Chain A
Amino acid sequence: MNLLSKKLSKTDLIGVVVLSAIILVLFPAVFSIFRLNLIGKYLTYAFVGVSLVLLWGNGGILSLGQGVFFGLGGYCMAMFLKLEASDPISTKIQTTPGIPDFMDWNQITKLPLFWMPFKSLTFTLLAILIIPAFFAFIIGVAMFKRRVGGVYFAIITQAVALILSVLIVGQQGLTGGINGITDLKTVHGWDIRSDSAKYILYYVNGALLIGCVLFTRWVLSTKFGMLLLALREKEDRVRFSGYDVANFKTLAFCMSAVMCAIGGAMFTLQVGFMSPSFVGITPSIEMVIYTAVGGRLSVIGAVFGTLLVNFAKTFFSEQYPDLWLFLMGGTFIGVVMLFPDGLAGLYERYGKPFVTRLASKKKDEPSVAVAAALESGGKHG
């Protein structure tokens, strides 16, 4: 936890540049569009990873309900796309043309009221940002104002994830149920399933992710970021210094929710469907492990952690399906016990001194020394 490197120093800029180069240049150059689309999907999870660096790594607030916000963003986008895909002409074989197919299958004859506004793209885009933020605000205020934190917050957010996924599965006629919202085709007539659209969406997604990385780094370098860190270490002292702790925690929670929602919306656009299996408890906890593997304190690490875990998941579940859950379980245990700072921690210890020496001979050395001292002096809890 090196405060000094929180500022956008030279070496960190290098990190962001390297990350951008890998996402925007290397991957499209090396992989076919099929694999690239898959990587695009992984990168949408990285939004959640980055949001958890802000909330959990730096703020010490572990939310096990990030899937809720990912899902809210994804479902908002999916509702818009579904309405566009179910125009009266292409759904004329249904009993009631012009409504989504799953509604027709469930004997619903009129578009439910809450689906109506999602006919507008502007409304949908706003909803993707505002609905999750509002939801996070309600949960945040209710919990943090009453000083519910730590473990209890984790358990309750987990219950929220369970509730939302059970609700979506249970209300099949309104939400598409366990299958989710599928068969999404166009945005204002632009076919999202074509290869060129997939390329464009991949770049948009990559750019948004880098935007989120930069935004999070910036937030962490401000006074607010310092306060978050202070909250994690000694919440009571911050409170006694006169800060209203609950407001800061709520703000961080809302920010992380919005990031997850952007990821969810991009997921829907790139993958072409949204289902409750990205909302419930298991995906929410899995997303925490991405951050843990990457390093809970490192924004860039979270992106690499997400990619690494997902590459491993794809590889092992294709080659050795039986082994995958053992490996996943082992990763959870191993990261927590042996590498609490994840990949970024390993890099800080072994890679960074080397890179710093390459980048500038003298300038950064003192800060690295101080950072190393801070690191060894204050292992976090």
Chain B
Amino acid sequence: MSLNEIGSMVAMQGFSGLSLFTVLLLMALGLAIIFGQMGVINMAHGEFMAIGAYVVYLFSQLTQNFAPGLREVYFVPAVVAAFFVAAAVGYAVEILLIRRLYKRPLDTLLATWGLSLAMQQFFRTFINPKEVSAELPEWLLGAFNPTPSIQVPRNGIFVMGLTILVTIGVYTLMLKSRWGIRIRATTQNRIMSSAVGINTDRVDRFTFALGCGIAGLAGAAFTTIGSTGPTSGSLYIVDTFLVVVFGGAANLIGTIASAFSIAQAQSLLEFFLTSAMAKVLTLLTIIIILMLRPQGLFTTKVRT
């Protein structure tokens, strides 16, 4: 094997790690807001991701059946819709369920687990019990060849771009905008925040909806990589929680770093071991590190 070939292989393997990284990161960004900032354990986060994926699928079916000419352009509005539909469902869930459980985090865990079971069955009964995949536009298919031996799939580049965009968006929103200040103030000291005139209930609702909307975006991105089934979301939920905890719950940079290291570690190990053993080793390492450093990789100093 020539040096050039090894180089191309490393590049492609690295890229496959990157695509796991993007899915984990998009999932984790939403959860970092919901769990890291608000302290709500949302076990149904994976199902919000599935909602996003199903919205894209729905758009693709509609275009195919009613307006085949729009095949090249439907994807962009579908991604936007995925965000808003998931956010709207999240908003409703906050009002009906989460709002009443803020003081009982462990109970939130059980209630949202129940929600995730019901949502999975909803997908199974009303959409399709089997896996579905959206009809992708031409510009997302095929691969891009920088050199003759390296092939970078176009959908990977698209997802990467979307992830970067969302990450920058969340970062700006949380750390630079008035809204972000309100969110952080509410999570750090609810009583003081409401005393200075922040409508904390409203902040809670919008924050939760935002987190769910980002999960929806993750789902939309996911449709370009794989097919969506009723339990697709739940496959990632534990990994996502570990990403957020490992990165340091309330820290966005930490979330990015931990999603990157976990995804790369896993794809790298998969190269040497079976995928089951790669997963076991990765998770075990995370747990051991968390036992030594319970606060995670990065911490924000907060007085409570």
What residues make up the interface of A, taking CB atoms closer than 8 Å to B? Answer: 56, 62, 64, 142-143, 146-148, 150-152, 154-156, 158-160, 162-163, 166-167, 169-170, 281, 285, 288-289, 292, 322, 324-326, 328-333, 335-337, 340, 381
- A-contacting residues, B106-120, CB 8 Å: 106-107, 109-111, 113-120
Q: Beyond A62-B106, A150-B105, A159-B238, is A142–B291 a contact (Cβ under 8 Å)?
A: yes
The CA-CA distance from A332 to B120 in the complex, in Å, is 14
Q: Return the contact of A159 from the options B109, B116, B124, B242 (Cβ within 8 A).
A: B242
Taking A155-B241, A160-B287, A329-B117 as given, write out 7 further A-B residue pairs in contact, using a Cβ cutoff of 8 Å, ordered by the A residue number. Answer: A150-B106, A151-B109, A154-B109, A325-B121, A326-B117, A329-B121, A333-B118
Q: Which of B57-65, B69-77, B96-104, B181-189 contacts A (4 or more CB under 8 A)?
A: B96-104
Does B81 lie at the interface of the complex (its beta carbon under 8 Å from any beta carbon of A)?
no
The CA-CA distance from A146 to B104 in the complex, in Å, is 22
- A-contacting residues, B263-282, CB 8 Å: 274, 276-277, 279-280
Does B294 lie at the interface of the complex (its beta carbon under 8 Å from any beta carbon of A)?
yes
Q: Beyond A147-B294, A166-B276, A329-B114, is A322–B97 a contact (Cβ under 8 Å)?
A: no
Does B41 lie at the interface of the complex (its beta carbon under 8 Å from any beta carbon of A)?
yes
| B interface size (C-beta, 8 A) | 41
Cβ-defined contact, B106 with A332, below 8 A: no
Cβ-defined contact, A336 with B101, below 8 A: yes
Interface string of B19-30 (1 = CB under 8 A from A): 000000000000
Does B203 lie at the interface of the complex (its beta carbon under 8 Å from any beta carbon of A)?
no
A146 surroundings in chain B (CB, below 8 A): 291, 294
The CA-CA distance from A337 to B114 in the complex, in Å, is 12
Q: Return the contact of A167 from the options B110, B111, B276 (Cβ within 8 A).
A: B276
Q: Return the contact of B110 from the options A155, A160, A289 (Cβ within 8 A).
A: A289
| Smallest Cβ-Cβ distance to A138: which chain B residue | B291
Q: Beyond A332-B111, A336-B110, is A163–B120 a contact (Cβ under 8 Å)?
A: no
Cβ-defined contact, B121 with A322, below 8 A: yes
Cβ-defined contact, B114 with A332, below 8 A: yes
| Smallest Cβ-Cβ distance to B114: which chain A residue | A332
Does B152 lie at the interface of the complex (its beta carbon under 8 Å from any beta carbon of A)?
no
The CA-CA distance from A292 to B241 in the complex, in Å, is 23
21 residue pairs of the A-B complex, CB under 8 angstroms, read: A143-B291, A146-B291, A148-B290, A152-B294, A156-B245, A159-B242, A162-B283, A166-B280, A166-B283, A167-B276, A285-B110, A285-B113, A325-B120, A326-B117, A328-B118, A329-B121, A331-B114, A333-B114, A337-B97, A337-B111, A340-B107
Q: Beyond A325-B121, A332-B114, A333-B111, is A151–B106 a contact (Cβ under 8 Å)?
A: yes
A142 surroundings in chain B (CB, below 8 A): 291
B284 surroundings in chain A (CB, below 8 A): 163
Does B140 lie at the interface of the complex (its beta carbon under 8 Å from any beta carbon of A)?
no
B113 surroundings in chain A (CB, below 8 A): 285, 332
| Smallest Cβ-Cβ distance to A157: which chain B residue | B287
A331 surroundings in chain B (CB, below 8 A): 114
